[in-house]
Structure 1
Amino acid sequence: MPPAPPPPDGQSGRAAPAGTAARVLELVASGAVSSRADLVRELGLAASTVSARVQELVDQGLLTEDGEGTSRGGRRPRLLRIPDEGAVALAADLGSHHMRLGAVSLTGNAFDTEEHALDLTEGPAATLGVLTTRLAELAARQRSAGRTVRGVGVGFPGPVDTAGGQVVAPSRMPGWHLYPLRDRLAEQLGLPVLVDNDANVMALGEHRATHPGLHHLVLVKAGRGIGSGVISHGRLYRGAGGAAGDISHVRVEAAAERPCSCGNIGCLETVASGAALVAALRERGLPVGGAADVLRLVQDGDPQATTLVRQAGRHIGTVLSVVVNFFNPQAVVLGGALAEAEPLVAAVRGMLYERCLPVTTSELVITASATGADAGLLGAGHAALRELAAVPPPAGPAGSAAHSPTPDLPSPAPSTPGRETAP
């Protein structure tokens, strides 16, 4: 047989992928590498290719190179680091009746956070102005502090076509079906925008901030509704049609014939969501307005609220036991307002240990979210920064970079409509 042709780039058999710049940032930010030589070894690319990517990021202010590391027989390498100040992404974690905003740095910190009322059920025309005004104010504060705003990441509490940046058929939210949220925000802010499902960005935020060493993780958001995000092999997994992780509409025996907002009956959401608990407590004469009130009652030791929350945890755990046996994750993380209720977390943990195979739970981490309310911000900001890493910053409020590039947060198949969660 004739000899194999020489590898491209003179060293490696792998061509530089489109997301190399984003991967470089991720490796430096995580502390996995500290020099160009480290990157060559980690990425398996030619030194010239790595140097070109690093220089691009240095020129854009996304990396700095100073100081000297330990020599391994040659010149002492210059050390790479993420600037403490510099590039940020704006992040918005939207709920059906509120929004949480903040700036996220390349080092993975969320700051300048704020919360405001926002009623998505009024439709996009009534709410987009409030959202863009708040984001524009946040952007102005970052620029006045000398930071470059690279883009915007948004977590939306409903199904999202991430490739098209559109909301897809969210129940309880009239007027949002096929609304081009990404493009509308980009046009008004003059910035590239990324839009994804809120549970997805929460999973990304929790994974990067708290469990970066784990490769397989499931995050369940238990708030007004229920949703989940899946991390597989260290990366967000959306599935063939974008619906990976949709446990909200799994049928459970306890729900019997209860009608669900999805049009089906007997879904998990009808007995285990914050909305279901609020309705049940109101039927018992307790004055509750939302998941926060349910949590307050549990913390005050109210027996009815505690019993209902514990039952909700059992229902969620029953569905999750199938997920854990099938997917065999290293961690199950509970987020959202109801995850602050210890009876719910304990009930989920108990059901998983009771119903799952010992091999799947012997080393399984089952815990409440460590990042709390910032999980969605961290994930949305991280996703935006990573996807926009190699995109030159816009010139200003009327910059030409109006749309997000092809996503660099991969799923094994192109992303199409996702699934719904609620805050």
Structure 2
Amino acid sequence: MSEPRPSSDHNGTRPEDFRHLVTVLDLVRSGRATTRPELTRRSGLGRTVINQRVAQLARHGLVEEGDLAQSTGGRAARQLRFRADGGLVLVAELGATSLTIGATNLAGEVVEFHDETCDIADGPDAVLGRVEALFHEILDKIGARSADVWGIGIGLPGPVEFATGRPIAPPIMPGWDGYPVRDRLGGAFDAPVWVDNEVNLMALGEVRAGSGSQHDDILYVKIGTGIGAGLVSGGRLHRGRQGCAGDIGHAAVLDDESIVCRCGNTGCLEAVAAGAALARDGTRAAETGRSSVLAEALRDRGRIEASDVVHAATRGDRTAVELLVTAAHHIGTLLATLVSFYNPSLVIIGGGVAKAGDLLLATIRQNVYQRSLPLATRELRIEQSTLHDRAGLTGAAFMVLDELFTPARLAQWLHATTPHGIPALADTTA
């Protein structure tokens, strides 16, 4: 793996100047400032510094000038635009039973997308081998080269040590413990790779490009095969010391030793309310004749999945509705504690089970509003995800871009114009 390059560019930029460079770049790429006068007002930097940094960013192909902006009484300023088409980010979200991959531009916008079923329990060699093959297929499909890849973002359905990009004792991922995901993909594509828990990336995607874009403090809850949460505090993703913040699926909600979770403990939220639990309870309802709709699905397909329970509930099947309401009750009860503790302004519900819509949300809202402190719920909104199955991909892209555009890392690759070819960037401290 190649070594990071020296922390100054070939024009002799002082290391401390990269902080100003990133300030200007962030304002332009976020759209908060699109002219030099706006940059001066929003950044607090002088006109000379702004002109120098804009010229430097343009020289390296990150920013370009456009048409004249509308005049406000004086000389019209030239508009500035971030060159989002200057490179690509490859992204993948690995769930327990699904795989979603894509490519985004440098603005985090998904330009190509693919999803398929996948069993994470097949192990890292099989699953990541499939990810690599699909990445190459996507590059071919959009007419891009591996050299166009600026970075790779991966979301995994388990605890990830963010500093190393390695899953640590993931409950539902046999064979993945300590696996060097970053090293493997970085070597395969010669680009820096960052890895995080999939729900963290969904939360990041929503706060940067979804329903959380106007909120600084949000809680994203994914209800799929498992259950997890991502926390954004003060506009920044909160990972915790080792990167496992938000692992609410294994919080105990029942004192019942007969309900064994995949993590080995009993009474976990995931074991009583996640998609796998709905499928289990739905199968029992089909086999015992409590639900004619689910019994029909079992006869037709030979198995019951959470989506079958959701579908049956939307058709008015009483047993399926009861299963969903019971799951939502457990989820809402735990969320009420988190809302009082964390005091977010927005709770976003995502994942496959969230497709049940108001059948699920109504019970969750009821429990949260009844059990949380009044002050904590005064301005609280609880909504369904707006990015749906692209939240994780979008978040993975922003994870990569945010890491690439820190002052310390930008100083290591700016002189080369692209971070491609420097996979060791991900190993350095931002």
* Aligned pairs for 1:208-357 within 5 A: 208-210=208-210, 211-253=212-254, 257-284=258-285, 285=287, 286=294, 287=298, 288-342=303-357, 343-357=359-373
1:401 is the counterpart of 2:417: no
Report if the CA contact (8 A) 1:345-1:367 is conserved.
Answer: yes
Compared with structure 1, are the counterparts of its residues 144 and 264 closer, same or farther at alpha carbon in structure 2 (3 Å cutoff)?
closer
Counting aligned pairs with the same residue, the percent is 40
Q: Secondary structure at the match of 1:404?
A: helix
Report if the CA contact (8 A) 1:149-1:393 is conserved.
Answer: no
- Provide the C-alpha distance between the structure 2 equivalents of 1:394 and 1:115, rounded to a whole number of angstroms: 34
Report if the CA contact (8 A) 1:222-1:273 is conserved.
Answer: yes
Report if the CA contact (8 A) 2:161-2:242 is conserved.
Answer: no
After superposition, what is the alpha-carbon deviation per residue over 1:17-74, rounded to whole angstroms, capped at 9, x for unaligned?
A: 8666555444334332112333343333455554454344333433222222356787
Aligned-residue CA RMSD (Å): 2.9
Compared with structure 1, are the counterparts of its residues 168 and 21 closer, same or farther at alpha carbon in structure 2 (3 Å cutoff)?
farther
Q: Secondary structure at the match of 1:248?
A: helix
Report if the CA contact (8 A) 1:229-1:245 is conserved.
Answer: yes
Q: CA deviation at 1:135?
A: 1.1
* Aligned pairs for 1:41-52 within 5 A: 41-52=41-52
* Aligned pairs for 1:49-64 within 5 A: 49-64=49-64
Q: Which residue does 2:193 correspond to in 1?
A: 193
Report if the CA contact (8 A) 1:191-1:394 is conserved.
Answer: no
Q: CA deviation at 1:407?
A: 6.5
| Counterpart pick for 1:379 among 372, 395, 420 | 395
Gaps of 5+ in 2: 1-14, 288-293
Q: CA deviation at 1:330?
A: 0.7
Q: Which residue does 1:33 correspond to in 2?
A: 33
- Provide the C-alpha distance between the structure 1 equivalents of 2:232 and 2:102, rounded to a whole number of angstroms: 24
Q: Which residue does 2:290 correspond to in 1?
A: none
Report if the CA contact (8 A) 1:54-1:63 is conserved.
Answer: yes
- Provide the C-alpha distance between the structure 1 equivalents of 2:201 and 2:372, rounded to a whole number of angstroms: 27
Q: Secondary structure at the match of 1:260?
A: coil
Report if the CA contact (8 A) 1:142-1:149 is conserved.
Answer: no
Q: Which amino acid aligns with 1:196?
A: D
Compared with structure 1, are the counterparts of its residues 296 and 213 closer, same or farther at alpha carbon in structure 2 (3 Å cutoff)?
same
Q: Secondary structure at the match of 1:251?
A: coil
Q: Which is further off, 364-373 or 342-351?
A: 342-351
* Aligned pairs for 1:28-177 within 5 A: 28-69=28-69, 76-83=76-83, 85-144=85-144, 148-177=148-177
Q: CA deviation at 1:201?
A: 0.3
- Provide the C-alpha distance between the structure 1 equivalents of 2:420 and 2:38, rounded to a whole number of angstroms: 39
- Provide the C-alpha distance between the structure 2 equivalents of 1:340 and 1:54, rounded to a whole number of angstroms: 45
Report if the CA contact (8 A) 1:100-1:116 is conserved.
Answer: yes
Q: Secondary structure at the match of 2:250?
A: coil
Report if the CA contact (8 A) 1:200-1:230 is conserved.
Answer: yes
Compared with structure 1, are the counterparts of its residues 328 and 407 closer, same or farther at alpha carbon in structure 2 (3 Å cutoff)?
farther
- Provide the C-alpha distance between the structure 1 equivalents of 2:367 and 2:381, rounded to a whole number of angstroms: 14
Compared with structure 1, are the counterparts of its residues 206 and 366 closer, same or farther at alpha carbon in structure 2 (3 Å cutoff)?
same
Q: CA deviation at 1:257?
A: 4.9
More helix by share: 2
Q: Which residue does 1:6 correspond to in 2?
A: none
Compared with structure 1, are the counterparts of its residues 223 and 407 closer, same or farther at alpha carbon in structure 2 (3 Å cutoff)?
farther
Report if the CA contact (8 A) 2:282-2:304 is conserved.
Answer: no
After superposition, what is the alpha-carbon deviation per residue over 1:82-112, rounded to whole angstroms, capped at 9, x for unaligned?
A: 3463333111111122211112223442121
- Provide the C-alpha distance between the structure 1 equivalents of 2:422 and 2:428, rounded to a whole number of angstroms: 16
Q: Which residue does 2:3 correspond to in 1?
A: none
- Provide the C-alpha distance between the structure 2 equivalents of 1:401 and 1:49, rounded to a whole number of angstroms: 31
Report if the CA contact (8 A) 1:163-1:406 is conserved.
Answer: no
The TM-score, its normalising length taken from structure 1, stands at: 0.84
Compared with structure 1, are the counterparts of its residues 46 and 106 closer, same or farther at alpha carbon in structure 2 (3 Å cutoff)?
same
- Provide the C-alpha distance between the structure 2 equivalents of 1:309 and 1:58, rounded to a whole number of angstroms: 54
Compared with structure 1, are the counterparts of its residues 393 and 124 closer, same or farther at alpha carbon in structure 2 (3 Å cutoff)?
farther
Q: CA deviation at 1:405?
A: 5.4
Compared with structure 1, are the counterparts of its residues 405 and 75 closer, same or farther at alpha carbon in structure 2 (3 Å cutoff)?
farther
- Provide the C-alpha distance between the structure 2 equivalents of 1:395 and 1:142, rounded to a whole number of angstroms: 22
Gaps of 5+ in 1: 1-14, 409-423
Q: CA deviation at 1:170?
A: 0.8
Q: Secondary structure at the match of 2:214?
A: coil
Q: Which is further off, 399-408 or 216-225?
A: 399-408
Q: Which amino acid aligns with 2:111?
A: F
Q: Which is further off, 395-404 or 276-285?
A: 395-404
Report if the CA contact (8 A) 2:190-2:421 is conserved.
Answer: yes
Report if the CA contact (8 A) 1:183-1:403 is conserved.
Answer: no
